[in-house]
Amino acid sequence: HVNAPMLRDLVREVMPQRAVIEAVGARPGQGVTSMFSFGRGLGVVEGVLGAMLIPVDYLAPQTWRGRVKLRGDKAEARGLATRTWPSHAGSFSKVKDDGKAEAALIALAAVLQ
């Protein structure tokens, strides 16, 4: 679940010029309930950003991965993020940090447009 007021407060703190969201779709075998939950969360994020007049760019996985030259899996994403930002290596050191690593790499891909 995405907490809309908390997200609004975080975004307000940073006031970005734009946001980037990974453009993903349903995957084979994913259940209806999980897809509904995912769509609902995405809608909250889009709604908060829209209400704050922050433009959103969407990057398909193959697009952002190509731009940052990521060829491997989530572990490779953590490795690439660590090599790209060595002073923040601790942020990507655990297996569960793969989402943070991918988010950072998506942001980098947006800058590399």
At 50-87, the pLDDT tens digits run 999 999 999 999 999 999 999 989 999 999 999 999 99
**Helix/strand/coil for 20:** strand
Query: What does the pLDDT read at residue 30?
Result: 78
Would you place residue 16 in the very low, low, confident or very high pLDDT band (cuts 50, 70, 90)? very high
Return d(Cα 95, Cα 5) in angstroms, integer: 29
Q: With a threshold of 0.95, does the pTM exceed it?
A: no
Return d(Cα 34, Cα 63) in angstroms, integer: 25
Task: Dig out the tokens for 66 from the structure.
Answer: 């190509």
Cα dihedral: 24, 7, 108, 27 (round 10): -10
| Look-up of token digits 């297996």 | 95
Query: What does the pLDDT read at residue 13?
Result: 97
In what helix (H) or strand (E) does residue 75 lie, and over which residues does it extend? helix 74-84
Residue 40: pLDDT over 80:
yes
Q: Which region among 25-29, 42-46, 48-52, 61-65 has the lowest average model confidence (pLDDT)?
A: 25-29
- 108 vs 1, higher pLDDT: 108
The average confidence (pLDDT) of the chain is 94
In angstroms, the Cα distances linking 54 to 8, 73, 102 are: 11, 31, 21
Would you place residue 22 in the very low, low, confident or very high pLDDT band (cuts 50, 70, 90)? very high
